Amino acid sequence: MYWYLPWVWTMSFWDSLVGAGDPAVATELEMDDVDFAAELHSEAFDRPWSGDEFASLLATPGTFGFLARRVGSPGAAPVGVVLVRAAADEAEILTIAVSKRARGQGIGRMLMDQVLQRLHADRIASLFLEVDEENAPALALYGRLRFAEVGRRPAYYADANGRRTSALVLKRTLR
Ligand SMILES: CC(C)(COP(=O)(O)OP(=O)(O)OC[C@H]1O[C@@H](n2cnc3c(N)ncnc32)[C@H](O)[C@@H]1OP(=O)(O)O)[C@@H](O)C(=O)NCCC(=O)NCCS
């Protein structure tokens, strides 16, 4: 208890310093940003990708990404990342993650809108992704963006206790 109150104070003070709640903008994911991307990924997934893994994916032809940054805090750590790979006229979301403290503020939506805009401009016909059937926040996001289920991989994911859930394959038609 003694430590709890100062911790709460420190978090809210830190939030005010880094502009929590400020609007966010998307910037292109560059090689210099891969450690930020890895940090965001590790907050969201049990098997985190390293900066080197992001770098090697980003170096693959057709791969691009965006980071979300708070408008009022250009020097602060980014709050979201999305990575996409396009080949021929199809594309795939490789990963998307928003920092825990920034979720539910429209940042995932903003990153996805940025991706859709880029894919439209590049004349890509379809965007695919895989999502855990029990990932309600992600399903809400993709539902709003008019993704439709086109496949299912039964027992694809396993949690730490070995419980298995299916992966849904979703598709958004772009043209
Ligand atoms: C999925 C994720 C990227 C969503 O990012 P976010 O910034 O929190 O999402 P947004 O605030 O932009 O919300 C987008 C839409 O989804 C809905 N939504 C988001 N979180 C929700 C939740 N927990 N419950 C219900 N709906 C939710 C919002 O209401 C919003 O709909 P609206 O545009 O009609 O208001 C984020 O939760 C995350 O990083 N999760 C961990 C990593 C992950 O699961 N990635 C996806 C793997 S496929």
Block means of pLDDT (10 residues each) for the chain, length 175 residues?
Answer: 34 45 92 98 96 98 97 89 98 98 97 98 98 98 98 94 96 96
pLDDT of residue 15: 44
Q: Is the CB of 107 under 6 A from ligand 1?
A: yes
| CATH no. of 16-173 | 3.40.630.30
Sign of the torsion angle spanned by Cα atoms 116, 122, 124, 129: negative
**pLDDT for residue 73:** 81
pLDDT confidence of residue 82: 98
**pLDDT number for residue 75:** 83
In angstroms, rounded to a whole number, what is the distance separating the alpha carbons of residues 51 and 31? Answer: 9
The amino acid present at 109, given as its one-letter code, is R
- The pLDDT, as a whole number, for residue 19 is 57
Q: The whole model's pTM is what?
A: 0.90
* 96 C-beta closer than 6 A to ligand 1: yes
Q: Residue 152 to residues 103, 123, 139, 165, 169: CA-CA distances in angstroms?
A: 26, 27, 14, 10, 6
Give CA separation, 70 vs 42, 76, 139, 154, in Å: 20, 8, 25, 38
Predicted pLDDT of residue 29:
98
| C-alpha 106 – ligand 1 centre gap (Å) | 8
